[in-house]
Structure 1
């Protein structure tokens, strides 16, 4: 069953991008915005399918593995980052197929860059919180420490990664990245 859950994770990721691609194609290329919106709205259903499958697998007696933890991480990330990914793709599709404005470039230097990095960490924190709640809910639902040890480990490792990301992201606030090789004339503009 472990390989089935792992395959389902991969399938859900592929399905997410297929729904996004089809939704944007219908919206901009085929000029059917309602169908496009319906496909884009359908992306959370993919997450629900994955959550139900992982929970059912654990409830049926499976020992929790990395794939169950990845499912919770995927769902947390998808909830937090999903609409941002869709918006990212939407801006590009609008530019390519509907004469929309070009995408804005991300700031690479100074306080704007530091603010963007902090915001990125807040998104990571939200993703971690959702994923961790799902992992803890699975721990409580299965209620068998021997079968869920991997899920606890995943929460610990993810918390460590979140802490490292905090240090990196907020370091730009204390030590902003400076633009190199810029003439004084350009700096004074």
Structure 2
């Protein structure tokens, strides 16, 4: 068991690259099964594989931290990826879902579904309501930025900052 964990730690960056390729493959197979072949259950199986793939990467990052005891770029990049998944991933996946639904219907010569009705159900905001929504998004980005800067500051401990002379 330890040999396998040592192997995983030795090749962790290669494993991340392979896992990201698998992410794209599983997502693509999900859309193909769902819209081309109309096999939703099989498509759902690929979503499960996609989630397991991402959980494996989280496990790998946690195990790496437990082994080294230090926070390094591997864990930071993994954390940034999960922050993206939490805040923007679902919205982007829905956009991809709508895109592939339209594209496959167009390729198959079927009527292209009108997805504007479902999108227009979310009422567009104007004026103060729109400004409030924009501010909330900006605040989220600001918090993420500050957290990332604190993490980088604690990891780097200001080493190398003297190289940035602004005068």
TM-score bracket for the superposition, by shorter chain length = 0.5 to 0.7
The answer (yes or no) to whether the contact 1:91–1:102 under 8 Å persists in 2 is yes
Match of 1:9 in 2: 16
Root mean square deviation of aligned Cα? 4.0
Match of 1:73 in 2: 80
Q: Deviations over 1:60-85 (max 9, x none)?
A: 23643212111111122123322222
Superposition map of 1:138-157 within 5 A: 152-153=151-152
Match of 2:39 in 1: 32
Q: Deviations over 1:68-114 (max 9, x none)?
A: 11111112212332222221111011111132226669xxxx64864
The answer (yes or no) to whether the contact 2:72–2:155 under 8 Å persists in 1 is no
Provide structure 2 residue ranges, at least 5 long, that are not aligned to the other structure: 1-7, 106-111, 121-125, 157-167
Rounded to whole Å, the distance in 2 between the matches of 1:154 and 1:88 is 35
Q: How many equivalent residue pairs?
A: 136
Rounded to whole Å, the distance in 2 between the matches of 1:95 and 1:119 is 31
TM-score, normalised by the number of residues in structure 1: 0.54
Match of 2:25 in 1: 18
Residue 151 (structure 1) shift: 8.4
